[in-house]
Chain A
Amino acid sequence: MLPSFIVIGILIVASQYVFLKGSFYKDLGLGRIGDTAVLDNYIRFFTDPFYLRTLWITIKTSALAAFFTLLLGFPVAYLIARMRSRWSMLLLAGIVVATFVTIVIKVFGLIIIFAADGWVNKMLLGLHIVDRPYTIIGNQVGVVVGLMHFTLGFGVLLLYSVIQTIPRSLEEAAQIHGASRFRMHLRVLLPLSLPGITVGSLMIFNMCMGAFTSAALLGGGRVFTLPVLIQRTVMMEVKYSMAGTLSAILLITVLLINLLSVFLLRRFRTARLVVT
């Protein structure tokens, strides 16, 4: 047990400690940091509209990606979970395999599909839905799509495991008692799966908050999320302390949002809006 704890401690706690500690010192240029602890970087972050906007873009794109991932993932997960044929396992295996494909390949696939001469734009132009090719590169829509692409497989797998725990008999009982399919989903399936959905959405949201590749490639250097800004701060400006501050704020923001969600979930449970 002890060796595992030591390894995990070094990998997780020690690395976090290094950048958290570094965030309290001033950058002196060329990667050097001062020797007196100050709050300058944090003050700069919270008083500079550029940094605050970056934080907002990070939260917004992550929340939208998590929402749409769940929205699109739920029907697929439900379908697979309720399938009685052997195809369900095949579909699930397909999703698992797709999840492990590196995001760089997936994103380049998206870029090709949405290219000016790609089939999506050919179809949109052909149907006169747009009058000039639509691009997902270099805007927030593209980043959201990229994040969804990154998390959709995980989302389906998470929701599948949640739906599987809900007995099919409950759905059948509701329908026997006259509930329509829509009403059964709204009044039975959704409340029963809400704790799972909440946990799943938090996991997807957390993944999106820290995602770099999708945001960097599809943002096209025009959409800055915090991970993108951290990379630029380290690589281009060699400001390790400021990068540490940005990382710390990202970590704390994610923690706060997760704690707030758990708190709200408990409140809902107390008010019996969620079935557990």
Chain B
Amino acid sequence: MTIKRRKAATQGALIAIGLGVAASASAGEFDGVTLTIATWGGTWKSNIEEVIVPKFEAMGGKVEFVTGSPQANLAKLIAARGRAPFDVMEVLDAQEKDFFTTGDFIQNVDLSKIPNAEGLDDWQRNESRVASWNTQETICYDKGKFAELGLEPPTTYTDLINEKLAGRISIPDITSGGGLANFGAFAYAAGGDETNVQPALDLINKLDALKFWSRGGEVITQFQSGDVYAAIVHAGWCTRAKNAGANVTTAHPKINDEHTGVNKYGWLVIMKSSENTDAANWYINEYLDPEFQLRLATKAGVVPVNKEAIARLEEDPVLAEMLVLDPAKLDTQLRIDYSKADIASWNDQWNRAVTK
């Protein structure tokens, strides 16, 4: 017994020394490196600041942020003529053509330095990008109001075409983060697709929306003020509205026989002009860490890409209600193929159809 204890103590001491050596080796790994991240502000950035930044600083580096939507950051990138004022950028799948078709702006990621990407599906990682999160675009509706009006919970977009809901619907503007994904989903639901969005515009005009929201926070205000009874918004914003006191829940819309629910992906890319590639790969790996993924999910309402984090989400009763977490059901969610879409044409058609 004594021999076993001594052996254990010796092993423990050796492990401790080993860890210490490893820690001291990595402590200065990024001495003098300033890593600039292009991402959203607010809660999103706070999560990064509270979890990833301290780890990077402990390794001698410094993190700076360029905040804004991916569209706004793309505009900054273009204005800088490709000399990106940042090293790592969060991009949306809707920017497929801007980033991944041309390859003008990004350099390869080094998957060997991103062990946390191993748990991702093959399509979620390749040499140019790594998936970082996704959102489930839903119909967020006020349960109380629907019951009061004698309405069944919605299951499709067309369920929202109802005199009782006239002027009480809020849908995302095409310029908002989820605008393109939902516009594409409307197209599919109405019989169109990425190359034919006219059916989506006809459906949207029938909805008699109060307004088109451009920032998710507006939806929370609208539910709180009683202005809207239903909104097309990702589950995260619906969760935040519920946490803010609104009596809301989500419905994952049936799009067609193949698809129920809508999915939008976020990706991390390293900019072509970045000279901090090791730090950038390290950052991406930390972003995919289960603990950070779980935190981002619970604070921002997005769905992790890390499978361990997804499984743990079921422990949160509110998120379990709001999100689809069953892998089989997740596979049926619609993802727009932006390589087929002419986004400029989508914008142009939208602008012409919705203007009053």
Contact = CB atoms under 8 A, between A and B. Distances in A.
- Please indicate whether A and B come from the same complex rather than being unrelated chains: yes
A199 B246 CA distance: 49
Given A30-B78, A236-B71, A238-B78, A222 B174 contact: no
A213 interface: no
Given A53-B355, A236-B347, A31 B227 contact: no
B175 A232 contact: yes
B355 A235 contact: no
Contacts of B344: 29, 237, 239
Nearest to A31: B78
B74 interface: yes
Given A223-B356, A239-B344, A135 B210 contact: yes
A133 B79 CA distance: 44
Interface stretch (A1-9, A77-85, A112-120, A162-170): A112-120
A140 B356 CA distance: 8
Given A31-B75, A31-B78, A31-B79, A222 B356 contact: yes
A256 to B, nearest CB: 24
A221 B173 contact: yes
Nearest to B104: A30
A197 B173 CA distance: 39
Majority secondary structure, A binding face:
loop
Contact of A238 (B74, B102, B221): B74
B73 to A, nearest CB: 10
A116 B71 CA distance: 32
A223 B354 CA distance: 8
Q: Which of under 10, 10 to 19, 20 to 34, or 35 or more describes the interface residues of B? A: 20 to 34
Nearest to B222: A115
Contact of B347 (A31, A118, A237): A237
A221 B212 contact: yes
B227 A221 contact: no
Contacts of B102: 30
B265 to A, nearest CB: 19
B192 interface: no
B62 to A, nearest CB: 29
Contacts of A116: 225-227
Given A138-B210, A232-B175, A238-B75, A54 B227 contact: no
Contacts of B351: 50, 224, 229, 232
A220 interface: yes
A135 B75 contact: no
Interface string A77-103: 000000000000000000000000000
A139 interface: yes
Interface in B141-188: 167, 173-175
Contact of A236 (B175, B226, B354): B175
Interface string A128-158: 0000110101111000000000000000000
B233 to A, nearest CB: 14
A107 to B, nearest CB: 12
A31 B81 CA distance: 9
A221 B175 CA distance: 9
A244 to B, nearest CB: 13
B4 interface: no
A223 B355 contact: yes
Contacts of B174: 221, 236
A234 interface: yes
B214 interface: yes
Query: Which interface residue of A29, A111, A135, A236 has the most chain B CB atoms within 10 A?
Result: A236
Given A135-B210, A221-B212, A222-B212, A235 B175 contact: yes
A232 B347 contact: yes
Contacts of B214: 216, 221
A25 B344 CA distance: 18
Interface in B299-356: 343-344, 347-348, 351-352, 354-356
Given A30-B98, A236-B347, A221 B354 contact: yes
Interface of B: 71-72, 74-75, 78-79, 98, 102, 104, 167, 173-175, 209-214, 221, 225-227, 343-344, 347-348, 351-352, 354-356
Interface of A: 29-31, 50, 53-54, 111-112, 115-118, 132-133, 135, 137-140, 216, 220-224, 229, 232, 234-239
Given A117-B227, A221-B211, A222-B354, 4 more contacts: A138-B210, A216-B214, A220-B211, A235-B72
